[in-house]
Structure 1
Amino acid sequence: MSEAIKNRYEFTILFDVENGNPNGDPDAGNMPRVDPETGYGIVTDVCLKRKIRNCIETICEGKPGYRIYVKEGVPLQRSDKEAYTYLGTDEKDIKKMKTNDPELDKKIRDFMCQNFFDIRTFGAVMTTFVKNALNCGQVRGPVQLGFARSIDPVVTQEVTITRVAITTEKDAENKKTEIGRKYIIPYALYRVDGYISANLARKVTGFSEEDLQYLWQAIINMFEYDRSAARGNMAVRELIVFKHDSELGNAPAYKLFDTIHVHKKDGVVAPRSYHDYEVTVDEDKVPEHVTCTRMI
């Protein structure tokens, strides 16, 4: 594996949606997530990580060390068993083996981190190992995202749709169309801030410079390879990266994020495109020993 990163990073992503549902809430009929107090739109960190995972799986298909642990159709226990196979044991003998090998936890953790990009990046809770009283079951990843929030309050629209295909023979005797509903946001620009700890990368997962470049590529393209009817017009518009000169960092994260300003252009009341906004970075206010790069 490549050497772990040596610099701390913070980054900000701006992405938008047009006539779509960026993150439906299953507890609310799949309506777009909205903060009920302010009306601002929300997209969860889990949703964004899913997009990044899917993108990595696409651009790194078949590349050793870049498999995805949390993925559809693959039980986590199945992937966990690979570590036991690698060590030449199984769940039944693991406690006995741990008694004889104090480094067992580290060996399992390192195996999982080396083989699965998302464990190396975001960390993971590996229930199989937790149940067997192994300390490697919970891995804290160096890359963390918050919730994305829209720049302005959003308006959710319920759109009635019809189809000519009837579900059952009985229904076909009485009607010629069926009615359904879908929820959209006409337009919204979202912002999410992220953090990368070089300290955790070195001590825990081994997240490397090569991993970092793939992460930037996946963030930039996370909606390009994941189109659907609900998310047809979504795009990452900005990726602003702050690189510290050291492992532990040279400035508080909030000071860096405060240099980014997003606001509507003069005369715009209801934004309907990214061009209705202006994005600026006060680079002269970025602290010493921190470099700001606008990657898009």
Structure 2
Amino acid sequence: MEPIKNRYEFTVIFDVENGNPNGDPDAGNMPRIDPETSAGLVTDVCLKRKIRNFVEIFKEDEPYYNILVKPDKALNTKFTEAYEAIGEKTGQKGKNPEAVRAARDYICQNYFDVRTFGAVMSTGNDPCGIVRGPVQISFAKSVDPIFTQDITITRQARTTEDKRDTGETEMGRKSIVPYGLYRADGYVSAMLAQKITKFSEEDLELLWKAIINMFEHDRSAARGKMCVRKLYVFKHDSVLGNAPANVLFDKIVIGKKDGVEVPRSFNDYEITVDKNMPEGVELQEKA
């Protein structure tokens, strides 16, 4: 498969209703927020996890679409398996740089997430180097400040026999965002795809599909109702690009409709898109 030949930027817009899109372990797993603006946040790590999970389901057991970052094995074990696959000795320090590059190329060829996002694979006695991935995603940020609500819940099953003596139920807490609309911007570098990971056109189409469907197979009571509403893609007609990313991202403006003070649904917002693109840039609406 040939690596991509065009640079891309993209904007994904998604929302949450009565759920926690990304809990913060430093704040009792409450929804992440910017403490200065109260805007909601969803980390890039969280979004990449959902993309990985979709690809794993959609491409299960297909060659070249394995996922490196998942809890099935230790990473160092997978690095050792790469050396075994290319016929290199394992478990010895001071690896030949050529062997490290060969192991890195094997990982890139066989693991979609490394081919896409890159990875730090320099640990253990069988290191596979460090890969800069062509696809990067920013933190998602809510369009407006979010209101975090702490809900009290009850549970009938007691955790210990001692607690059964105090009654039949236990009290618990659940943190939700009643409604929030989030935006994340991303980048796809054809230069890094060609030089390092060989991220292909087929990989790119799978990435768009995974972004559009990243919440469809990730349902849970904690996350409530989450949905990708829009995916805008800016395609350059060159490897290095034809316009700065910030100029393109500014073409998409999200605002509340007239008369709406507290948004409670996607229909309370209006998305304005300036379709007058710089020369050499094409706007594609994927969702």
TM-score category (smaller protein) = over 0.9
Q: The residue matched to 2:222 in structure 1 has which SS? A: coil
Unaligned 5+ segments in structure 2 are: none
In the alignment, what sits opposite 2:131? 139
Alpha carbons 1:81, 1:90 under 8 Å: kept: no
Per the TM alignment, residue 106 of structure 1 is displaced from its structure 2 partner at its CA by 2.2
In the alignment, what sits opposite 1:227? 219
Q: The residue matched to 1:128 in structure 2 has which SS? A: coil
Paired residues for 1:122-137 under 5 Å: 122-128=117-123, 136-137=128-129
Q: The residue matched to 1:174 in structure 2 has which SS? A: coil
Paired residues for 1:50-129 under 5 Å: 50-93=49-92, 95=94, 98=96, 103-128=98-123
Per the TM alignment, residue 137 of structure 1 is displaced from its structure 2 partner at its CA by 1.6
**Cα deviation digits, residues 82-129 of structure 1 (max 9, x gap):** 111013233334636x1xxx5323211110000000000000011336
In the alignment, what sits opposite 1:183? 175
In the alignment, what sits opposite 1:163? 155
Question: Is 1:281 paired with 2:273?
Answer: yes
CA distance in 2, matches of 1:167, 1:7: 55
Per the TM alignment, residue 189 of structure 1 is displaced from its structure 2 partner at its CA by 0.3
Q: Which amino acid aligns with 1:266?
A: D
Q: The residue matched to 1:149 in structure 2 has which SS? A: strand
Per the TM alignment, residue 170 of structure 1 is displaced from its structure 2 partner at its CA by 2.0
Higher helix fraction: Structure 1 or Structure 2?
Answer: 1
Per the TM alignment, residue 164 of structure 1 is displaced from its structure 2 partner at its CA by 1.6
Question: Is 1:23 paired with 2:22?
Answer: yes
Q: The residue matched to 2:50 in structure 1 has which SS? A: helix
Q: Which amino acid aligns with 1:191?
A: R
Q: How many residues align?
A: 287
Q: The residue matched to 1:256 in structure 2 has which SS? A: helix
Q: The residue matched to 1:95 in structure 2 has which SS? A: coil
Per the TM alignment, residue 173 of structure 1 is displaced from its structure 2 partner at its CA by 1.8
Per the TM alignment, residue 163 of structure 1 is displaced from its structure 2 partner at its CA by 1.4
RMSD: 1.4
CA distance in 2, matches of 1:176, 1:158: 23
Q: Which amino acid aligns with 2:214?
A: M
State percent identity of aligned pairs: 62
CA distance in 2, matches of 1:169, 1:106: 57
Q: The residue matched to 1:226 in structure 2 has which SS? A: coil
Q: The residue matched to 1:224 in structure 2 has which SS? A: coil
CA distance in 2, matches of 1:196, 1:12: 12
Unaligned 5+ segments in structure 1 are: none
Alpha carbons 2:88, 2:99 under 8 Å: kept: no
**Cα deviation digits, residues 58-98 of structure 1 (max 9, x gap):** 111111100000002321112111111013233334636x1
CA distance in 1, matches of 2:256, 2:73: 44
CA distance in 2, matches of 1:218, 1:153: 27
Match of 1:244 among 226, 236, 240: 236
In the alignment, what sits opposite 1:192? 184
CA distance in 2, matches of 1:227, 1:174: 34
Paired residues for 1:39-50 under 5 Å: 39-50=38-49
Q: Which amino acid aligns with 2:170?
A: E
In the superposition, relative to structure 1, how do residues 124 and 83 fare at CA in structure 2: closer, same or farther (>3 Å)?
A: same
Alpha carbons 1:164, 1:178 under 8 Å: kept: yes
Alpha carbons 1:35, 1:41 under 8 Å: kept: yes
Q: The residue matched to 1:283 in structure 2 has which SS? A: coil
CA distance in 1, matches of 2:170, 2:192: 54
TM-score, with length taken from structure 2: 0.97
Match of 2:145 among 149, 153, 156: 153
Question: Is 1:206 paired with 2:163?
Answer: no
